Structure 1
Amino acid sequence: MANARRLVAKANNANVGSLILMALVFGSCVANGEYLGGRRGLAANSGNPTVFDITKFGAKGDGSTNSFKAFLNTWIQVCDSPVPATLLVPKGEFLAGPVIFAGPCKSKITVEVQGTIIATTSGYATPEWFLFERVDDVLLTGTGTFHGKGEDVWKEDGCGKKVQCNLPPTSLKFRNMKNVEITGISSVNAKAFHMFLVKTDNVNIHNIKLIAPAESPNTDGIHLSNADNVSILDSTIATGDDCVSVGRGSNNVTVERVICGPGHGLSVGSLGKYKNEEDVSGIHVKNCTMIETDNGLRIKTWGGSGPSKATDIHFEDIIMQNVKNPIIIDQNYGSRGGDSQVAISDVLFKNVRGTTISKDVVQIMCSKSLPCKGVNVVNVNLNFVGKSGGKSASGSGDGLVGALCDNANVIFGGKLSFPMCNK
Structure 2
Amino acid sequence: MLDRLELRTDQEKAIRGDGVSRLLEDRDSRAALIRGIRLHYHSAMSEPVRRLSSSMPQVARARNARRIMSNDIPERMTAEEQPYCIWHPDMATEDTYRSLASKFSGIRYQVGRACAAAGYHVLYQELDLLPEVSIAEEARESETDGGKLIYDEIMSFKSRYAIMDDCKRTIELRGYECPAYLNGNTEVRWRLAARQGITRWSNDDLLPCIEEDMHLGLEDQEVDQRHGTLTDDEAKLLYSPLPRDLPTVKKTLLTQMAAHDGNIERYAQLANSERTLTQLDQDCVIRGVLHHTMYARWWADQIKNDTIYARSAPYVWDIQRAIMARRIMLNDASVFEDGWPPGVPMPYIIWWPLQPQSDMLSLLAIKVPEMKRQCAAAAIVCDYENVYKNLDPEPSWHLWKVASLFATNPFYREDQEWRGRENGVDVKDDSFMESYILQ
Note whether the superposition's TM-score is higher than 0.5. no
Determine which structure has the larger helix proportion and give its number. Answer: 2
Normalized against structure 2, the TM-score is what?
Answer: 0.25
Larger radius of gyration: 2
Normalized against structure 1, the TM-score is what?
Answer: 0.26
